[in-house]
Homo-oligomer: A and B are copies of this chain.
Amino acid sequence: MSPKSMDRRVKYTIMMIKKSFISILKEKPIAKITIKQICEEADINRATFYAHFKDQYDLLQQIEDGFLEDIKLHLASIAYSATERESVSALERIIGYIKENAEVCSLLLSDRGNLDFHKRIMMIAQTQFIAELKQKKELSAEDAEYIFLFITVGSVGITQKWIVDGMKRPAVEIAQMIFTLTEKVLL
């Protein structure tokens, strides 16, 4: 279902529903949001909602998926990075993209979204970077997983704090910080 091949009506409907949902999500946790409310705010029939989404959670999931799709595209243009400069740059790109879409991101990455989404974003940037280091160092598969997890989740934590604090620092700085901490752990 690429947005290109969609009927214009469908595009409009989905756009309005997502917009409405995001707007409501700013005010209350997802558990308190009703389908009815989403539809009223979007001025979309409730039956139409059910034609596209199962419930609020399915809707959130789809928003997140679309987001990751975008991020992947942003990264696709970057060649596989072997040097530090390139790694940091990849991280910076992602973090910069997050800043551009601050409104939605700060929602999805705040307490509102779910932790899995955080992880997925960070893993995109680091997976290949970590893969190399698995080889370089002589780590058991399981140990490597634990360390990988430590780094990934920690990085997510940092990004989240940065967002909550209003994204005042430049993205490069955060990217550099994550990279440095990662290196230390892998020393």
A185 at the interface (CB under 8 A from B): yes
Q: Which residues of B contact A155 (CB under 8 A)?
A: 150
Q: Is the CB of B185 within 8 A of A181?
A: yes
Question: Number of copies of this chain in the oligomer?
Answer: 2
Q: Which residues of B contact A150 (CB under 8 A)?
A: 154-155, 157-158, 181
Please classify how large the interface on chain A is, using the bins under 10, 10 to 19, 20 to 34, 35 or more. 20 to 34
Q: Which residues of B contact A156 (CB under 8 A)?
A: 153
Within 8 A of B (CB), among A106-164: 111, 114-116, 145-147, 149-158, 161-162
List 5 A-B residue pairs with CB atoms under 8 Å apart, sorted by A's residue number. A31-B57, A115-B115, A149-B158, A152-B157, A154-B154
